[in-house]
Amino acid sequence: MPKLWNDTIASHREAVQEAVLDAAAAVVAERGLTGVTMAEVAQRAGVGRATLYKYFPDVESILTAWHQRQVGDHLRQLTEIWTNTGRLEAVLEAYAFICHEHPPSPGPAASLHRSEHVARGREHLVDFLAGLMTDVRDDVPAKELATYCVHALGAAGAVPSKAAVRRLVAVVLSGLRGEAGR
Amino acid sequence: MPKLWNDTIASHREAVQEAVLDAAAAVVAERGLTGVTMAEVAQRAGVGRATLYKYFPDVESILTAWHQRQVGDHLRQLTEIWTNTGRLEAVLEAYAFICHEHPPSPGPAASLHRSEHVARGREHLVDFLAGLMTDVRDDVPAKELATYCVHALGAAGAVPSKAAVRRLVAVVLSGLRGEAGR
């Protein structure tokens, strides 16, 4: 098969996948993670159910791919903030607001948040943050500090207000620096 | 029915339940959360399967009860440490080691860690810790600091050594105090 044709197929597959994930995201936004069905996603994505099943065997695999895409988006977002500002505070605050806006949901679908691909996503985040750990306390390895950040900032999903999220970031930063609060 | 008889029934029921949870704990320790079956638990607990089903309809409900008992045990342990030492550091370190020794497991059984009773357990822990938040920074409400502690110390499940757990506790304490690290 000529290369061009392969490219066309690849980009068509990608377009269908994106449409499916967008449709899944819309259903999740409306009904929560447990409200997603294959029929609904197929209809919203404008593909037949048979086609959908060729791409994804079940709802779980759609949600996993969707979550993976989301984690990737967040990581790109944080990288951009770091590139633009060079400020650790700005990156941590952005991550805290991501956690605040996407708290882990209870119930069966929450198993998503523990699956292996999520663990990998979290590892990427830890590695990324570990690389930003200059100008912090030097009695703790950078990777441990990054692990601390990711867990501690997860508390943003459990605090009641944006002001509380900002206070949390200040507390986490004091921990990182081991200096007097500002 | 005379009260004594009711007491006897109640204590018998409790003894069976305890035996079932102990048996479940043993199976979990050997095979992980997903390796638990009703037949195995009944056999280890020394009760018939019919009896077991009268107490617990399925493995999920056994694991929930077992986890609930564990969370209760941990909370009692922390309360005791607080009563004996009056030192927040000691309580936080003990909780960090609990997290280090019981990291959340991946896979389907992990949905346990997100279920409602776990959320309640975590709330009890936050409330308990919030009550110990004296001698800490006063620019952040005690409950938010406690929420921060519970999440941040959860990182102890992801660090490689006991020394790393102790470093984590030091970092969390700096965050709580907003002062220079000691």
pLDDT above 90 covers what percent of chain A? 59
By Cβ distance, the residue of A110, A159, A176 closest to B144 is A159
Q: How far apart are the first and last CA of chain A?
A: 64
Q: What is the pLDDT of residue B7?
A: 75
For residue B24, what are its two tokens?
Answer: 């479940």
By Cβ distance, the residue of B106, B113, B148 closest to A152 is B148
Contact B140 A170 (CB under 8 A): yes
Q: What is the pLDDT of residue A88?
A: 96
Q: Could you give the domains of chain A?
A: 1-57 (1.10.10.60), 66-182 (1.10.357)
pLDDT in tens, A162-174: 999 999 999 999 9
pLDDT in tens, B80-90: 999 999 999 99
Sign of the dihedral defined by the CA atoms of residues B58, B62, B64, B65, in that order: positive
Contact A114 B111 (CB under 8 A): yes
pLDDT in tens, A86-128: 999 999 999 999 999 987 654 444 445 556 667 778 888 999 9
Report whether pLDDT(B109) > 50: no
From B168, which residue of chain A is nearest by alpha-carbon distance?
A: A148
For residue B135, what are its two tokens?
Answer: 């001698």
Report whether pLDDT(A55) > 50: yes
ipTM for the assembly: 0.80
Place of tokens 């050997």: B30
Q: Are residues A169 and A153 in contact, defined by beta-carbon separation less than 8 angstroms?
A: yes
Contact B164 A171 (CB under 8 A): no
Contact B174 A170 (CB under 8 A): no
pLDDT in tens, B118-134: 777 888 899 999 999 98
pLDDT in tens, B169-180: 999 999 999 854
pLDDT in tens, A26-38: 988 888 777 889 9
